[in-house]
Structure 1
């Protein structure tokens, strides 16, 4: 059984539509895929309607959080998307994305980069606009060679010359909100140092004590020693250890199913969830 619990569609910053994503997941030989767009559930209906027979969809989201000045991402699975308190908080985060992206465009123009808001909006399309869309604009203009090249202190990395802060959840509050909505929480790529500053390992222990369910261990931004360290930490703290591609379509080199989650861990996630249930494929006929 092949299970990938972290993917993105055009509902946020991926390049596959939700329908394309589930079809591509089935073609990649996956049995289970989670749709975890940034701070939104907008892709659910399209993904479910196109879900191929033999593929199960786990509904989720990747939540933007900040702890002691450090950005982090929290994966939330199988929560009730209509639960009002959690829905209102996701809306606050989403609403801040446009002014934030506009602010980054303004900073880049002040640095002499001829990027425009119209260009970024075209790249984002119907998705929730974010840094990857601004990064792709820099690639189009030849300022950087690829999207990863834009996430540096020179450009869009946290604290970078064109970086703009955004509204982000406190991760302890995120855990509380997800739990109240019947969901399960997993700290995404917690030691991905190539992305920028990470929270200390002591913070992961505090989050575990507050009800965090798991940590994402097998991820493209964790080298082998880091994965071993995280696996040991998961054992010590009683956390579930997951593996996922963090697929973004053509925006990243990683493919669907390049990293996967053990079926027993997946089973435990579904057992803990009470807000929603995995959706079995019906041949895309819904």
Structure 2
């Protein structure tokens, strides 16, 4: 039986991990090698268990391909699993990421949109590598493809991994700082759905949309609050306030906006394995927020409890 739906604006995140160990550690934003993480879904769940994470969301970019493996591993390691995706969206030529929790993985309109985005990513990487190689950066597209796991969603982190593998750099951060940022001369855009349309797609699939790191300081260009209002009108449920890319000012902004719009606030690690310096459970979400997310879904995909 589904729980009654709480008023969304009435709950807040736990914030930084470790403030109250009696409460479950809930990390609602992580990536596996199915997109741009460095660990398989099974390895991701094992790492979560080792790190003391009680509830983990797998949210690979534009794909649900890691769900089955993650499900089996969650049962093995006794971790509660929230199955989700991170959709790459666009707004005024700015990249925006939308977390979609518990959508129906068979919902055709959503799957078709995700497939279109993945196909566009692949051709875009080849063009970026061509630009970089023409400017003397030692890299081939074949080297990049060697970093993409079978069935994975290709992305800029795979270019960074190829540069690490051939000894040009030591960490992904360096590649993004020097060559792969949105303002880089080597940057090539890819197809991404409009942010409001993405919210509508997640809701139509029975899922729960939460805007990932909305005020990140690494984005080129600020995100307009008016867009978030439009996304709320389309069905947005929450904002990921507690994130490594948010400082106190960004957290305060997200908190005020969420209170005004009746949105929940989440906290997450955005873990990518060794691909980023983020650590599992470094920011967490309150159990009451997870309850609100679960209640806001249609139930087509349920939170998987061991």
Normalising by the smaller structure, the TM-score range is over 0.9
CA distance in 2, matches of 1:271, 1:196: 34
Alignment match of 2:200 (pick from 176, 191, 198): 176
CA distance in 1, matches of 2:250, 2:271: 20
How many residue pairs get matched? 280
The CA deviation at 1:53 is 4.7
**Corresponding position of 1:150:** 175
Alignment match of 2:161 (pick from 128, 136, 139): 136
Root-mean-square deviation over aligned CA pairs: 1.4
The CA deviation at 1:2 is 0.9
CA distance in 1, matches of 2:170, 2:248: 27
**Corresponding position of 1:97:** 121
**Corresponding position of 2:17:** none
**Corresponding position of 2:264:** 240
CA distance in 1, matches of 2:86, 2:154: 14
The CA deviation at 1:141 is 4.3
Q: Give runs of aligned pairs for residues 52-91 of structure 1, distance below 5 A.
A: 52-91=76-115
**Corresponding position of 1:44:** 67
Alignment match of 1:7 (pick from 11, 30, 50): 30
1:31 paired with 2:54, answer yes
The CA deviation at 1:224 is 1.8
The CA deviation at 1:142 is 4.8
1:161 paired with 2:185, answer yes
Mark the runs of 5 or more structure 2 residues left unpaired by the alignment: 1-23
Q: Is the 8 A contact 2:240 2:266 kept in 1?
A: yes
Alignment match of 1:191 (pick from 215, 223, 226): 215
CA distance in 2, matches of 1:19, 1:53: 9
Task: Pick which of 189-198 and 249-258 moved more.
Answer: 189-198
Q: Is the 8 A contact 1:65 1:170 kept in 2?
A: yes
TM-score (norm 2): 0.88
TM-score (norm 1): 0.94
Q: Is the 8 A contact 2:46 2:77 kept in 1?
A: no
